Structure 1
Amino acid sequence: MILRRLFYLVLLAAFTLSAQFVKAQTCSCAGAPLLGSQSLGTTESGNFVIGLTHEYNDISSLYAGNASLDDSNTSRATNSTLLEINYGFSRRLSLSATFSYVTKNRITGRLTSNPDDITTRGIGDGVLLLKYVLKEHSLASQYSIALGSGIKAPFGTTSLRNNGFQMNADMQPGSGAWDAVFWSYASASFVPHTDFSVYMLNSYRLTGTNERFGENDEYKFGNEWITMMGTGNTITDQLGYSLSFRFRYTASDQRNNQDMPNTGGTWLMVNPALSYDLFDQLTVRLSGNIPVYQHLEGTQPTTSYTASLSLFYSFNKSADFVKY
């Protein structure tokens, strides 16, 4: 039984990690989607939980405002591998850390005899959050509220070059800036003695600046707001589901305090997910994002769909942790 469990763990981890080397296409934003792809909420006192997520983001769509344009001559995608670590210091206080590795690819001139194929990869940025549970879920009061704050650290490089020229920010693994991050989570159960619940998650990133091309030349990615609202339940003792809507807004990027054209926008996506407990301590989760509505400032490449595979390992099988 132990050997079988180890086999499942190694097999799924190998599948997840190897996906980052699949031939892909580039992200219209810098770095990994750290806030939008995190899968760990809070954990109980003394519990240590590790999450490993691989996300594929196909960015082959092109929009002007809310109108879709034909862009069959260009393809773009990003592959992001996220390592999430959660530790509960007490019943209410926990620490969350996320690290990333990013691979980006862009192919232009696909319909010509000599397409331009560019790939970049490297360590991305990271996020460190302290989370505090204001209200714990109980039989008498079946709802919970948690708040958090922290930083996004610029671990990823922003200086990759192609043919001697520094590449644009959308092809760099990192953003090059320190950001402030704010987070909240709320959930409620309305049907007694079941796992059915509704939840809402919010995150806000207040971005810093990066001197990309030298002194007095500062670039700032737009501030980002993400809200997820959804529901989840168990189908069997091992199988569960969730379905949520994900709203994301980013302000326009700025260079030397001037708004950059063709940056910023609003996205609404539906996010279905299935999770399965391989055994008490190991859970696998498959999820995706499908655009419902997009409105971009100017003309920009944007997400066609995302797909992600996650593994969660809890070192204390008697404790609980929140996945969303």
Structure 2
Amino acid sequence: MKKQFAYTLLAFAFLIPADLPGQTCSCAGAPLISSQSISSASKGNLLAGVTYQYNDISNLYTGKTQLTNRSVERNTQSTLLELNYGITDRLTISATTTFVRKQRTGLRSPGANDQLTTQGIGDGLVLFKYVLHQNTMREQYQLAVGGGGKIPFGRSSLSQNGIALNMDMQPGTGAWDGVLWSYFSKTFAPSSTINFFLFNTYRITGSSERFGSNDRYKFGNEWVVNAGITDTFLPGLSYIGMINYRSTSSDRRNGQALPNTGGKWINLEPAVRYRISQELSVKVGGQIPVYQYLNGTQPTTAYTASISLFYNFGRRVIF
């Protein structure tokens, strides 16, 4: 029973949402691929999570230099529903759906309170994850791999007053993407309750037709690496410390690379999780940028804050 509880505790602690930029100015949409930190669920087990994230995108960078940005304020609010179901003890299916609200203020005339808001269903994600090596007391590590696709549920051709909106204000991307995923974790029981984890995600983007055959848009391919530790420091209370690296290539329109898109980011992502009951858990976290190198000049994340609620409809989750 204690072992099953430890599995559940650690698995909940690992579900850490992160930013998934991929818009024309690297502004964040719903954090789809970076939230895939649950490696597997046991057969017949269902883990459900709901996450709300606020992303302030008011910083302005050129290369690695921050510029003064007093004319534009941006934010993205995302709500994610994630389900992880164990088909077998080694094979898990994960599905994520999103709702996105984006807001931009002061772009048309600096100093004026011009505001543009868009919202709607965002894109979805389906992954199949397979455990190559289960964590055991003798060999205390787990290795899993997976793959799937991003599904273009969200609209990508919104317009206002007959003018097409930029991709950074669209709820969805309009394209089918391929996603590759891998996961590694290492525990040190019984001498320590600290757990180390590392997971990678690579997104191979497709292209979408927005307003006609002469307007095909392709987001840059994206690679995300997350590494961190988690531990329990008070009964029912855990901390999570994670560092996130993300790299994206430039977006392309009609085959031509677009300026002011793509870059590299390093972020710190601290969080705490409280276990309300054996099945129910809540987590509060955020994201703090520590290094950003953007191609050209782009608005980018100043900070994010999130709150998540998880429920385990089963006896245990394998981490």
Normalised TM-score (structure 1): 0.88
Q: Which runs of 5+ in 1 are unaligned?
A: 1-25
Of the candidates 204, 207, 216, which is equivalent to residue 205 of structure 2?
A: 207
**Cα 1:88–1:193 shift into 2, 3 Å:** farther
1:1-324 matches, within 5 Å, as: 28-29=26-27, 31-38=29-36, 40-108=38-106, 114-316=112-314, 318-322=315-319
Question: Is this contact kept in 1: 2:26–2:262, CA < 8 A?
Answer: no
The one-letter amino acid of 2:243's match is F
Alpha-carbon distance in 1 for matches of 2:274, 2:25: 30
Alpha-carbon distance in 1 for matches of 2:156, 2:266: 29
Alpha-carbon distance in 2 for matches of 1:72, 1:286: 29
- Number of positions where the alignment pairs a residue of Structure 1 with one of Structure 2: 296
Alpha-carbon distance in 1 for matches of 2:25, 2:49: 23
Question: Is this contact kept in 2: 1:27–1:78, CA < 8 A?
Answer: no
Question: Corresponding residue for 1:18?
Answer: none
Structure 1 position 109, deviation (Å) = 5.4
- Partner SS, residue 34 of structure 2: helix
Alpha-carbon distance in 1 for matches of 2:130, 2:289: 32
Provide Cα deviations, 1:106-157, integer angstroms capped at 9, x if missing partner. 0015996632100000000000000001010000000000111000000000
Alpha-carbon distance in 2 for matches of 1:113, 1:307: 27
Normalised TM-score (structure 2): 0.89
**Cα 1:277–1:95 shift into 2, 3 Å:** same
Q: Which has the higher contact order (CA 8 A, sep 6+)?
A: 2
The one-letter amino acid of 2:98's match is S
Query: Structure 1 residues 254-263 or 103-112, which shifts more?
Result: 103-112
Question: Is this contact kept in 1: 2:128–2:147, CA < 8 A?
Answer: yes
- Partner SS, residue 305 of structure 2: strand
Alpha-carbon distance in 2 for matches of 1:134, 1:242: 25
Question: Is this contact kept in 2: 1:188–1:197, CA < 8 A?
Answer: yes
Question: Is this contact kept in 1: 2:106–2:113, CA < 8 A?
Answer: yes
- Cα-Cα RMSD: 1.8
Question: Is this contact kept in 2: 1:269–1:290, CA < 8 A?
Answer: yes
Provide Cα deviations, 1:157-214, integer angstroms capped at 9, x if missing partner. 0121111111111000000000000111100023535421111010010000011121
Identity %: 50
Structure 1 position 32, deviation (Å) = 1.6
The one-letter amino acid of 1:168's match is N
Query: Structure 1 residues 147-156 or 38-47, which shifts more?
Result: 38-47
